[in-house]
């Protein structure tokens, strides 16, 4: 019977699937030191974004055959080290699409209408109606950077609000971007020039780290709203803070940060920032889908069956 380690928890539906073929050890919240001590016992490990599967961990993982990422991003896994050791890495990229897309739309509404400011004032007993002149999303242009599953879904939802959708993705042909509901643009500069709202849906890679830089903010329309529920690190947070202070960026919705948790930083506490603690996939429905998808994929990998979402 296979031995599978869970380091960040998993919904019961996924555990039940795993338990049919494996001994499942749920060590939710395990420390890095503890992980190093016990990883050698397991055939597979399933993680979320908290646990870091480093080269050092993989060196200690003598029996490890599969790493499952219960979610999309795999920047917390040393993919090259896994590849060198012949360890398969799989993820569950579809399960959280709707949940993340809905969060992004919610952030867009909240920033356009200053909903968090209005609520906070009411709770203080203040009536600040005249200070809260908002803007309508209908007729505005949404620029989507990264037209994958989530980016495409955000575009579909935004189009229903009457927004114009433009997209940039160097990995997807223009005709496919158009099929997914966005007007394809050839460069980021074109997107910056026309977008009233910009949402990021790219993985964190050496190429995307810090891609939304001081220079990029300078090319955007003044008063733009910037949203990121993808990965912390793709936005230069110091540059974003500067752009917020100058008014170049009117508001930012951030679900992810370069360091998590970030603490009460000047960016997190800025009055024009809507900050959430990486909750994009945190819906009951998405978590059930993630658990089922990653459990079945990890077992398929262990049993040598065809894989739907092999990363390495």
Residues with catalytic function? 231, 260, 278
Nearest one of 54, 65, 62 to 302, comparing CA atoms: 65
Q: Other C-beta atoms within 10 Å of 184: how many?
A: 19
Q: How far apart are CA 118 and CA 113, in angstroms?
A: 9
Joined tokens for residue 193: 């020039």
Residue 116: strand, helix, or coil = helix
Residue 22 near residue 1, CB atoms below 8 Å: yes
Q: Residue 83 in contact with residue 139, Cβ under 8 Å?
A: no
**DSSP H or E stretch at residue 23:** strand 22-26
Residues 228 and 312: their CA atoms lie apart, in Å, by 26
3-state secondary structure of 103: helix
- Contact by Cβ (8 Å): 21, 61: no
Q: For residues 73 and 53, is the Cβ–Cβ distance under 8 A?
A: no
CB 100 within 8 A of CB 92: no
Question: In the numeric block, which tokens belong to residue 298?
Answer: 């990890």
| Chain position carrying tokens 């955007």 | 220
Cα distance between residue 93 and residue 151, in whole Å: 13
3-state secondary structure of 73: coil
Cis check: omega of the bond before 261, within 30 degrees of 0: yes
């Amino acid at each position: 019977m296979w031995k599978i380690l869970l380091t960040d928890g998993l919904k019961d539906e996924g555990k039940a699937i795993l338990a049919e073929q494996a001994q499942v050890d749920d060590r939710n919240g395990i420390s890095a030191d503890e992980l190093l001590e016990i990883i050698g016992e397991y055939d597979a490990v399933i993680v979320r974004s908290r646990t870091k599967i480093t080269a050092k961990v993989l060196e200690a993982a003598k029996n490890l055959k599969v790493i499952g990422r219960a979610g999309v991003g795999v920047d917390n896994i040393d993919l090259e080290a896994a590849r060198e050791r012949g360890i398969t890495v799989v993820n569950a990229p579809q399960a959280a699409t709707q949940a993340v897309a809905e969060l992004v739309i919610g952030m867009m509404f909240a920033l356009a209408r200053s909903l968090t400011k209005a609520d906070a004032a009411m709770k203080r007993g203040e009536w600040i109606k005249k200070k809260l002149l908002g803007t309508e999303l209908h007729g505005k242009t949404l620029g989507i950077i990264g037209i994958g599953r989530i980016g495409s879904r955000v575009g579909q939802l935004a189009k229903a609000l009457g927004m114009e959708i433009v997209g940039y993705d160097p990995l997807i042909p223009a005709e496919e971007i158009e099929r997914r509901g966005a007007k394809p643009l050839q460069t980021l500069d074109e997107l910056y020039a026309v977008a009233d709202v910009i949402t990021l849906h790219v993985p964190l890679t050496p190429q995307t780290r810090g891609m939304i830089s001081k220079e990029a903010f300078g090319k955007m329309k003044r008063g733009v709203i910037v949203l990121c529920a993808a990965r912390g690190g793709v936005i230069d947070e110091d540059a974003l803070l500067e752009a917020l202070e100058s008014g170049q960026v009117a508001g930012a919705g951030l679900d992810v940060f370069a360091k998590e948790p970030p603490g009460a930083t000047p960016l997190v506490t800025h009055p024009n920032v809507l900050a959430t603690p990486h909750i994009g996939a945190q819906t009951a429905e998405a978590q059930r889908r993630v658990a089922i998808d990653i459990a079945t994929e990890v077992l398929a990998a262990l049993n040598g069956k065809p894989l739907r979402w092999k990363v390495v």
